[in-house]
Structure 1
Amino acid sequence: MKRLALLALLLTTTAHGATIGTMVPAEPLTVERIASSAPIERAAWQDYLARSASLLVKDKASLAAELPSGHPIPAPAAGGNGPKSMPLDKPATWYGGAEARHIADVIVSFQTPAGGWGKNQPRDGAIRQPGQHYVAGEHGKDGQRPWNYVGTIDNDATVTEIRFLSRVVSQLPAADAGSYRASLLKGVDYLLSAQMPNGGWPQVWPLQGGYHDAITYNDDAFVHVAQLLLEVAAGKEGFATVPASTRERAVNAVVNAITCILTTQVVKDGERLGWGQQHDALTLRPVGARNFEPASLSSAESARILQFLMGLQTPTEEVKAAIRGGVAWLRDSVIKDRSWEKTEQGSVLKVSPGAKPLWARFYALDTNQPIFGDRDRTIHDDVAALSEERRNGYSWYNTAPQKTLEIYERWEAAN
């Protein structure tokens, strides 16, 4: 096929690949942009933006009110691997013990008034002190503290906290589970509140601006939220005590999330392809994120979205079409007989006959060729042309879609 021929050609290029473009930063969600959107959507988006602004004010005011005037601001909690500190694979009875309850107490203490949690913070340390920031590593200057990722679904944050609390709630008597259950329900409500009118989720809620306001498939954040709400809707495990009204809201949220997935799938020349790491909330087109993450089709995120769709019990014909189109795109985009390896000279793409199928992280929206971004926002057609820091500090290739293709074989036989 033409795409495979193009990939083969690209893999033979020299280390002096061309600079083919410049990354364009994503636009935030603003009053002005909403005003220019379709009239039928305007009221819902205006309400969404107003709720975000209101929650942001309340979050900041609540933190400020905890600390009496003149008292020193407590040092922020240390950062680290948050999910690792909240294991979800222990025996059921472990979650009713002292160790799990301490982790749950820490989780509850760091929950924001809006109901979410920050990222990259271990939850097995100390309880949050009055006036201590909700997120790890946020130091203040001149009395002003930065306000980043204060409530996020990035890096498995919020979803992991909710899942851990659900396990603790399921193992405790109702009288002992009260505060954990309340925190869990507040967390679920946070996710429902954060959902956009089109069914997507931003990376940070209340909104932070920039690419954080985009529909975030990056690192499977969207899928993790949708999967969690599926379990909430079904009342599985620790979600059995979730009120029927909340479970019904979760059902509607998942339906809207699936609609969002279907409407954001990139279509070119009538063919359904994959998805970007993030899509603009209003235009639904793929957009860039950090300087080295250009608007593109993303193989790993697309693969995980397809797994989520294939896990639906009664897929519609539109869902089936999305799955088949996405799988066809993954098959067309595979890179064979190459491996991405770390060497003494850094990470390199090597000729490796018989190597496992490989995919570039990003594919150009117009040509489907692999593309690579650098810190200075330049976009390249050859990974070897990147600065040493970016070439070695990012996962430019992955094998994740292979599992999706294997699942698809079984799914297609059943559908």
Structure 2
Amino acid sequence: MNHRLALLLLSACLAGPVAAAVIGQNAPVPALSAERVAALPETQRAAWQAYLARSEQQRAADRAALAAERQALSEPVPAPPEASGAGAKTMPLQQPPAWYASAAALQVADNIVSFQTPAGGWGKNQPRDRAPRLRGQDYVSDNNNKRATPGDFDQAQDPRWSYVGTIDNDATISEIRFLAKVAAQRPGPAGEVYRQSAIRGLGYLLAAQFPNGGWPQVWPLQGGYHDAITLNDNAMVEVMQLLDAAARGEDDLGFVPGALRERAAAAQQRALALLLAAQLRDGQGRKTIWAQQYEALSLAPASARNYEPPSLCSGESADLLLYLMSLREPSAAVRAAVHAGIATLRGLAIRDKAWVTLDEVQGRRLVDKPGAPALWSRYYDAGSLQPIFGDRDKTLHDDVNEISFERRKGYAWFGIWPQKALKEYEDWSKRWNP
């Protein structure tokens, strides 16, 4: 959040209740580029230059592989099944072990293997319980936002090559975990194709990791907010959990070779250091919580979609705190991060308010409700710690009731996300006192 916007919000808070207002305009996050890398201190440039080169080479290789498949075809192939937000649900990870030996599970596993990109990752939102990918077929269907207009932060340059390799919406993580479960039921040669695909997937995640330990939403890099370090939807934490399991040979990942286990463990530790460094501080220098996205080079909070501002985020921070509290031997730095994060979430709780649908005309509104359970805003300005809300036209507001009907209806601006973390902290803090 820029300094001017923080001052505006802080002034409003100190002055008491005022009329709601448009308080700013959401700005796009800059893409990770060679020009920006060239402006880094000399000691940092080489690693980032190598990363950019690796991304560009892999993107070119992925495109070339698809073009080569199509050269041998006499007719175009149909697009993959239409993307669905429920794509990950077609790869269930909580079934009894024996289910993963079933014909239904093998159909999903074969589909997963067929849609793996040359880079080793997978696209998002694709149903995996359909037919395998055809030769020459796109790796993803159109992931373009149907409401996007020219200049929209979510507008893909190429709708047929968007999110081709991503950790968004549980993609790649779910595929690797599902393959591991199927391989566990097929020891020996029968499961080798699934083990090798999972190993390639882990290699993809390691290749995608930034030199500073974070992960972009999409790799090879796609540009825009997809190049930002992505905590949104728990993406980075889920990658870390998977790498930790691979490093330990747990969760049916005992087949991972020793050298790859070592690389996974090192990557998880770099990511943990990044998370600790990314914990934001208030005006007095006290640690608070985390943003949804971070600009890769500066670690400044970054915007994402038009209505998602660069700000503190209560939901992702709560999930991140649960992850930190799950670590077996938390360091002093981890413990300090947890204590500070929990204290911040407690202080940000909104009381005597309810987020409800009034009627079909007024839609969802934040209303007074004495005695209502605590709520948290999804976003808080990093400077003032006041709730902040975005609209599809990129305007930023200090009152959720002032944004458009469509965005009030279609986004979770308030929730109870921190409750689980606060409850877990009750027991955790008894073991790891401040």
TM-score normalised by length of structure 1? 0.94
Q: 1:9 to 1:77 in 2, by over 3 A?
A: same
Take 1:355 and 1:132, find their aligned partners in 2: how far apart are those partners? Answer: 52
Indicate yes or no: 2:153 matched with 1:149: no
- What is the aligned partner in structure 1 of residue 419 from structure 2? 402
Contact in 2 for aligned 1:291/1:376 (Cα 8 Å): yes
Q: What one-letter code is carried by the residue in structure 2 that aligns with 1:119? A: K
Indicate yes or no: 2:274 matched with 1:246: no
- What is the aligned partner in structure 1 of residue 153 from structure 2? none
Take 2:126 and 2:265, find their aligned partners in 1: how far apart are those partners? Answer: 30
Contact in 1 for aligned 2:291/2:313 (Cα 8 Å): yes
- What is the aligned partner in structure 2 of residue 340 from structure 1? 355
Q: 1:62 to 1:138 in 2, by over 3 A?
A: farther
2:292 to 245, 266, 277: 277
Take 1:229 and 1:339, find their aligned partners in 2: how far apart are those partners? Answer: 39
Contact in 1 for aligned 2:116/2:122 (Cα 8 Å): yes
Q: What one-letter code is carried by the residue in structure 1 that aligns with 2:339? A: R
| 1:186-225 alpha-carbon deviations (Å, 9 max, x no partner) | 0011111111100000000000001110100011101110
| 1:155-195 alpha-carbon deviations (Å, 9 max, x no partner) | 11110011100100111121100110110000011111111
Identify unmatched segments of 5+ residues in structure 1: 1-5
Partner SS, residue 272 of structure 1: coil
Q: What one-letter code is carried by the residue in structure 2 that aligns with 1:96? A: A
| 1:84-131 alpha-carbon deviations (Å, 9 max, x no partner) | 111111110110121101100000000100011111111001111111
- What is the aligned partner in structure 1 of residue 31 from structure 2? 28
1:221 to 213, 235, 250: 235
Q: What does residue range 114-263 of structure 1 map to in structure 2 within 5 Å?
A: 114-137=119-142, 146-263=160-277
- What is the aligned partner in structure 2 of residue 324 from structure 1? 339
Take 1:100 and 1:134, find their aligned partners in 2: how far apart are those partners? Answer: 20
Take 1:101 and 1:270, find their aligned partners in 2: how far apart are those partners? Answer: 53
Contact in 1 for aligned 2:142/2:160 (Cα 8 Å): no
Take 1:365 and 1:412, find their aligned partners in 2: how far apart are those partners? Answer: 26
- What is the aligned partner in structure 1 of residue 148 from structure 2? none
Identify unmatched segments of 5+ residues in structure 2: 1-9, 145-157
Take 2:13 and 2:357, find their aligned partners in 1: how far apart are those partners? Answer: 23
- What is the aligned partner in structure 1 of residue 305 from structure 2? 290
Q: What RMSD, in angstroms, separates the aligned Cα atoms of the two structures?
A: 1.8
Take 1:13 and 1:160, find their aligned partners in 2: how far apart are those partners? Answer: 46
Seq. identity, %: 51
- What is the aligned partner in structure 1 of residue 408 from structure 2? 391
Contact in 1 for aligned 2:141/2:160 (Cα 8 Å): no
| 1:352-404 alpha-carbon deviations (Å, 9 max, x no partner) | 23322110001011111000001111100000110111111111011010110
TM-score normalised by length of structure 2? 0.90
Partner SS, residue 340 of structure 1: strand
Contact in 1 for aligned 2:182/2:194 (Cα 8 Å): yes
Take 1:219 and 1:211, find their aligned partners in 2: how far apart are those partners? Answer: 14
Take 2:127 and 2:17, find their aligned partners in 1: how far apart are those partners? Answer: 44
What is the CA-CA distance between 1:145 and the residue it aligns to?
6.3
Take 1:126 and 1:414, find their aligned partners in 2: how far apart are those partners? Answer: 50
Contact in 2 for aligned 1:170/1:237 (Cα 8 Å): no
Take 1:346 and 1:352, find their aligned partners in 2: how far apart are those partners? Answer: 17
Q: What one-letter code is carried by the residue in structure 1 that aligns with 2:265? A: V
Indicate yes or no: 2:21 matched with 1:18: yes
Moved over 3 A (4+): none
